[in-house]
Amino acid sequence: MKRTPLKRTGRINPVSKRRRARDAAYPSSRTAIYERAGGMCEARCSTWCAGGGHQVHHIAGRDGPDPHRLDNLELVCRPCHDFIHSNVEWAYANGHVRKRNGGSA
């Protein structure tokens, strides 16, 4: 596959047109996640859970053709987000992380 180099347009981290188009859906997905969760943490997995969700967690990561679909996102507080990424086996078992190809751990 031929790859076209990214043009330097004054941006610190240039991105491809494809990635820019893919990520254009993120703001509306983020708004929908806040509405779905009512602004509350959906994970509630850490003993330090703050209750209010402030970060959007990508359950199957941010790669792939459609990473910002609603079934791949959950609203979490910072302590729960840290807990999910620090305890990956637990997170797989409890559905907070899944493989990108749809398989299980």
| pLDDT over 60 at 102, yes or no | no
- The amino acid that residue 55 corresponds to is Q
* Enclosing domain of residue 37: 17-93
Condensed to tens digits (0 to 9), the pLDDT of residues 43-91 reads 999 889 989 999 999 999 888 778 889 999 999 999 999 999 999 999 9
6: in domain: no
89: in domain: yes
Q: How many CB atoms lie within 10 A of CB 61?
A: 12
43: in domain: yes
25: in domain: yes
Q: What angle do CA 36, 43, 79 make, to 5 degrees?
A: 120
Condensed to tens digits (0 to 9), the pLDDT of residues 6-50 reads 666 666 777 788 888 888 888 999 999 999 999 999 999 988 998
12: in domain: no
Number of domains the chain contains: 1
23: in domain: yes
